[in-house]
Amino acid sequence: MTKVSKVVGITGICAAGLLALTGCGASTAGAAQGQAFTPKGDVTMVVPFGAGGGSDLSGRAIAAGLEDIAGVNINTENREGGSGAVGYASFLAQDGKPDHLLATETAMLALPLTQDVPFTYESFTPIMKLGDDYTLLTVSPDSPHRTCEDVVKAAGSGRVVAAVSGATSLDQIVFTLIEQEEGIKFDRVPYESGNEVVAALLGGQVDVISVNPGEVLGQLEAGTLKPLCALADKRYELEALKDIPTASEQGIDVSFAQFRGFIAPGNITAEQKQYWIDAAKKFEQTDGYKKYIADNVLQPNAVYGDDFKTYLAGNAEDLAKVLGK
């Protein structure tokens, strides 16, 4: 008995060790230089945030879509830390390697503006912007406010408490833009995620929030929260959201989106860049892309390569006005 169980014990531990080892299997780099480029060997999709978050979902959706198109394995690797800074900083080390990609979003622009980090968006090669995630200004159903204008007026004459999900988050930026546009002040309470912000509004701790529609669809349907306006250029096409007016319809000229997309390392060749852009364009036609956009309630404004870079430049300029050191 003793002998048998000892063997069981040892194999148990060995199996545990082995599993842990394979769990973090590193990717193998197979950089092919020059001529018409096709990736050889495995490709790595870096996600600069933890597993299960918004970046992780987009990274894995892109990886799955590109895998079929490129005919190679694309391994998703979460390199979290420093609110995304660690992932982007380590991506600098992949300079010139076309077999590495990174699932990007607004942190790429916000981090260099607020922290001492060794990169800007110009350190990398932008490939594709998948779409835009706007926010809805939302209140509780028993709130006296009926429009975004009501909220602005209230904030002009008294205290309106707004929950924000982070120091450089989309809602923080949107509230600042409204303040700058209308010359008013919100009283902010900082939270750390969209879910916490929704809970704070449901619990009556705050008066107003500005959230991604994907985070409140269920609440809107149940009538437990009331949307006032979308801080977007145009209304959503989705049935459940199409009756929500934009802020500019209500006289507040504010619209700001968080983008999602993917980039390649800096200094890759023109052929390599073109290869990923072509693959990304094919990805836009797949059901995987459409499902991702629908599941996360994005506006599908795909942009590629240099156009994406131009977009980033403009976006960085807008952000600097809000977050500038």
Partner 1 sequence: MLDNLMLGFSTALTFENLLWCFVGVLVGTVIGLMPGLGSTTGIAILIPLTLGMEPVTALIMLAGIYYGAQYGGTITSVLISTPGEAASVVTTLDGYQMARQGRAGSALAIAAIGSFIAAIISLALLMALAPPFAQFALNFGPVENLSIMILGLITVVSFAGGSMSKGLMMVTAGLLISTVGIASGFSQARFTFGNVNLLGGIPFVEVMIGLFAVGEVLHQIRVGAAAPIRARFKDMVISRKELTNSMPSIFRGSFIGFLLGCLPGAGSTLASFLSYGVERRFSRNKHNFGKGAIEGVASPESANNAAANANFVPTLALGIPGGGTTAVLLGAFTIYGLQPGPLLFEQQPTLVWGLLVSFFIGNVMLLVLNLPLAPVFAQMLRIPYAYLYPIIILTSLVGAYSVSNNMFSVWLVVIFGLVGFFMKELDLPIAPLVLGVVLGPLLEKSLVQTSALGQGNFMIMFQSQISVSILSLALLLAVGPWLIGRFKSTPSDAKELTHV
**Region 244-283 residues binding partner 1, contact defined as CB under 8 A:** none
Residue spans of alpha helices (H) in 189-304: 194-202, 217-222, 270-284, 287-295
Binding residues for partner 1, how many (CB under 8 A)?
71
Amino acid at 227: P
Q: What are phi and psi for residue 161, nearest 5 degrees?
A: -95, 120
CA–CA distance, 166 with 213 (Å, rounded to integer): 17
Check binding of 5 to partner 1 (CB under 8 A): yes
Q: Give the up-direction half-sphere exposure of residue 320: CA atoms within 13 A in the CB hemisphere.
A: 8
Check binding of 116 to partner 1 (CB under 8 A): yes
Check binding of 79 to partner 1 (CB under 8 A): yes
Check binding of 118 to partner 1 (CB under 8 A): yes
Contact 238, 261 (CB under 8 A): no
Candidates 57, 69, 72, 320; binder of partner 1 (CB under 8 A) is 57
Give 166 or 245: the residue with its C-beta nearer to partner 1: 166
The DSSP bridge partners found for residue 125 are 264
Min dist CB 104 to partner 1, Å, is 16
Candidates 50, 73, 238, 285; binder of partner 1 (CB under 8 A) is 50
CA–CA distance, 265 with 104 (Å, rounded to integer): 12
Q: Which stretch binds partner 1 (CB under 8 A): 10-18, 178-186, 248-256, 309-317?
A: 10-18
Check binding of 51 to partner 1 (CB under 8 A): yes
Per-residue x/- mask for partner 1, residues 288 to 307, rule CB under 8 A?
Answer: -------xx-----------
| Strand duo 74-78 + 43-47: pairing | parallel
CA–CA distance, 188 with 245 (Å, rounded to integer): 24
CB neighbour list of residue 132: distance below 8 Å, 6 or more residues apart:
232, 257, 258, 259, 298, 299, 301
Min dist CB 159 to partner 1, Å, is 8
Q: Give the up-direction half-sphere exposure of residue 21: CA atoms within 13 A in the CB hemisphere.
A: 6
Candidates 181, 221, 249, 317; binder of partner 1 (CB under 8 A) is 221
Candidates 45, 102, 200, 316; binder of partner 1 (CB under 8 A) is 200
Candidates 31, 202, 241, 320; binder of partner 1 (CB under 8 A) is 202
Per-residue x/- mask for partner 1, residues 159 to 198, rule CB under 8 A?
Answer: --x----xxx------------------xxxxxxx-xx-x
Check binding of 17 to partner 1 (CB under 8 A): yes
- What angle is formed at CA 80 by the lines to CA 74 and CA 81, rounded to 5 degrees? 160
CA–CA distance, 105 with 262 (Å, rounded to integer): 8
Check binding of 222 to partner 1 (CB under 8 A): yes
Check binding of 20 to partner 1 (CB under 8 A): yes
Contact 132, 162 (CB under 8 A): no
Min dist CB 290 to partner 1, Å, is 13
Candidates 135, 219, 255, 315; binder of partner 1 (CB under 8 A) is 219
Min dist CB 180 to partner 1, Å, is 18
